[in-house]
């Protein structure tokens, strides 16, 4: 049976035909391909069928496994500039942050532009079509970092949710970040409102959305958390922050606020379905149930959690309780990469370790990186292949030595460690062809990024 097309759109149609395999992320059959018109999928072609839509173009996908575009729900693009920094190696979260904050305080607009383009390029090449970035470092030399990110992301052509992060509780007030990267509540709220007015696009085919994202309970005041929640509600945008990443955070919250992080979250008006949290590791059973009842989302970041020895997210427990769970690569200084397909494999391996080999499959990991992440970002039009969905696709080849001898093509992508997509489409437009960016020379992006990274570390040393 073939899903019927929408006859009302008048642009050319393309049949992505005869895929080696097509995982739709749902129960629909697209064994014989997908028909795209404009920026949408309009028809799925089942096994043995041909399109009912008249199509003008075709793409032979017989050597490709086709997936929905992967969705990265938590990243810090700027951290690509400080990968494997010697001062931050082999540390847990708090000392790791303390080693890096003095470096990040010297970020400027060129560094933000270069790191945003590098991170998004790296993500695209791994099959990731949508990314949420959490930028929370602002200073006198970099007051408008999100504006710079919007420009950089627009040029690359990925979908982004750019979150206006903030830190208002500096070391002099008992917080973790240095005072040089702390802002006043008034400025944070004013800038947050301006960015929403200027850049937030709520449309289904939106390439840029804005969310509000105080960094963490140990870097902002309770008043800012409450006022940010009010501003988000008034403007119908989402909320994001780090929570439950380490036991140190629990201890800090108890000492500073007299509450565990989830109690604190509820007290400041953040325990609801318009919030998604990064990490979500150190919750007790009652807190898992409360998060599920509120439908508060969790972004699992397995590589970062392993590198910093933070712990293992209780993904299945959270899902069973009702909390949506997505996937993120986290910052490249705690990963140290921006490869979403590799993160799918890491999630599968770590969750098998936690729950048992039979309890978490490659499909569970792929679902987390697609439909799960789409739920976190409230983007129902993304995360699966179906008629009416946005045409965001990732196509992978299986002709590398690592795949030789495979049985199940979709399972091979995850188990055998796919790293690079061959073709990637965002909104019906090819952004990657033959494993290369269509519109940019990746070597030029790397060169610009490398210069920015050298300048940043030179500032620290000199």
Residues 57 and 96 in one domain: no
User: Does 289 map to a domain?
Assistant: yes
Q: Return the pLDDT at 5.
A: 45
- What digits encode the pLDDT tens for the residues 365-412? 999 999 999 999 999 999 999 999 999 999 999 999 999 999 999 999
Q: Which run of H or E residues covers position 436?
A: strand 436-437
User: Does 383 map to a domain?
Assistant: no
H helices of 200-309, in order, are 222-235, 247-257, 261-267, 285-294, 302-307
pTM over 0.75: yes
Q: ∠335-380-433 over CA atoms, to 5°? A: 60
- What digits encode the pLDDT tens for the residues 198-255? 999 999 999 999 999 999 988 899 999 999 999 999 999 999 999 999 998 899 899 8
- Note whether 245 and 203 are within 8 A (CB): no
Please spell the DSSP secondary structure of 301-316, one letter per residue: -HHHHHHTT-----HH
How far from 440 is each of 7, 150, 303, 338, 425, CA to CA, in Å?
35, 17, 28, 18, 15
* Residue 218, token pair as written in the block: 């140990």
| Bridge-based pairing state of the strands 40-44 and 275-279 | unpaired
Residues 116 and 47 in one domain: no
Please spell the DSSP secondary structure of 310-357, one letter per residue: -----HHHHHHHT--EEE----TTTT----HHHHHHHHHHHHHHHH-T
Tokens 């039009």, located at residue: 381
Residues 288 and 424 in one domain: no
Residues 223 and 281 in one domain: yes
Residues 94 and 230 in one domain: yes
Residues 120 and 262 in one domain: yes
User: Does 453 map to a domain?
Assistant: no
Residues 285 and 413 in one domain: no
Q: Which run of H or E residues covers position 437?
A: strand 436-437
Residue 63 buriedness (CB in 10 A; 0-12 / 13-18 / 19+): middle
User: Does 293 map to a domain?
Assistant: yes
pLDDT beyond 50 at 10: no
- Note whether 288 and 315 are within 8 A (CB): no
Q: How many domains does the chain have?
A: 2
CATH code of the domain in which 408 resides: 2.30.40.10
Q: State which of 349, 376, 403 marks the end of a domain.
A: 376
Q: Give the residue numbers spanning the domain of 123.
A: 70-376
Residues 91 and 21 in one domain: no
CATH code of the domain in which 318 resides: 3.20.20.140
User: Does 80 map to a domain?
Assistant: yes
Q: ∠334-337-342 over CA atoms, to 5°? A: 115
User: Does 304 map to a domain?
Assistant: yes
- Note whether 279 and 313 are within 8 A (CB): yes
Helices (H) and strands (E) in the chain, counts: 15, 18
Q: State which of 354, 376, 398 marks the end of a domain.
A: 376
Residues 286 and 307 in one domain: yes
Residues 350 and 370 in one domain: yes
User: Does 337 map to a domain?
Assistant: yes
Residues 120 and 204 in one domain: yes
Residues 356 and 406 in one domain: no
- What digits encode the pLDDT tens for the residues 312-340? 999 999 999 999 999 999 987 788 889 99
User: Does 462 map to a domain?
Assistant: no
Q: How many CA atoms lie within 13 A of 69 on its CB side?
A: 34
């Amino acid at each position: 049976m073939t899903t019927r097309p929408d006859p009302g759109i008048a642009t050319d149609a393309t049949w992505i035909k005869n895929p080696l395999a097509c995982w739709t992320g749902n129960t629909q059959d697209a064994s014989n391909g997908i028909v795209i018109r404009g920026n949408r999928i309009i028809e799925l072609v089942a096994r043995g069928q041909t399109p009912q839509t008249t199509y003008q173009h075709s793409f032979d996908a017989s050597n490709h496994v086709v997936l929905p575009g992967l969705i990265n729900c938590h990243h810090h693009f700027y951290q690509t500039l400080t990968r494997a920094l010697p001062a931050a190696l082999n540390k847990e979260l708090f000392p790791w942050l303390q080693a890096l904050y003095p470096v990040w305080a010297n970020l400027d607009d060129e560094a933000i532009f270069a790191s945003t383009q590098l991170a998004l390029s790296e993500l695209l090449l791994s099959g990731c079509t949508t990314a949420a970035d959490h930028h929370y470092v602002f200073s006198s030399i970099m007051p408008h970092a999100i504006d710079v990110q919007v420009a950089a992301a627009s040029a690359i052509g990925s979908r982004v949710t750019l979150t206006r992060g903030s830190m208002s509780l500096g070391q002099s007030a008992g917080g973790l970040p240095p005072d040089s990267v702390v802002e006043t509540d008034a400025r944070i709220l004013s800038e947050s409102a301006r960015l929403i007015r200027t850049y937030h696009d709520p449309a289904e085919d939106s390439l840029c959305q804005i969310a509000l994202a105080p960094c963490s309970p140990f870097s902002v005041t309770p008043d800012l958390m409450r006022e940010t929640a009010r501003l988000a509600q008034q403007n119908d945008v989402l909320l994001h922050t780090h929570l439950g990443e380490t036991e140190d955070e629990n201890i800090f919250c108890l000492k500073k606020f007299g509450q565990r992080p989830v109690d604190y979250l509820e007290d400041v008006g953040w325990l609801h379905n318009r919030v998604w949290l990064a990490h979500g590791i150190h919750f007790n059973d009652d807190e898992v149930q409360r998060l599920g009842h509120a439908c508060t989302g969790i972004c699992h970041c397995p590589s970062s959690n392993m590198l910093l020895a933070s712990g293992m997210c209780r993904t299945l427990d959270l899902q069973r309780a009702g909390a949506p769970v997505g996937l993120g690569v986290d910052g490249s200084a705690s990963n140290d990469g921006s490869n979403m397909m590799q993160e799918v494999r890491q999630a599968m391996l770590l969750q098998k370790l936690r729950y048992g080999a039979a309890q978490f499959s490659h499909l569970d990991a792929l679902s987390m990186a697609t439909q799960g992440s789409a739920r976190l970002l409230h983007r129902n039009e993304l995360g699966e292949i179906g008629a009416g969905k946005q045409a965001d696709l990732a196509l992978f080849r299986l002709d590398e030595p690592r795949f030789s001898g495979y049985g199940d093509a979709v399972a091979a992508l995850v188990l055998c460690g796919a790293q690079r997509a061959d073709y990637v489409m965002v909104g019906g437009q090819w952004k990657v062809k033959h494993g290369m960016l269509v519109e940019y020379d990746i070597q030029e992006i790397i060169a610009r990024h490398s210069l920015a990274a050298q300048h940043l570390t030179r500032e620290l040393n000199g």
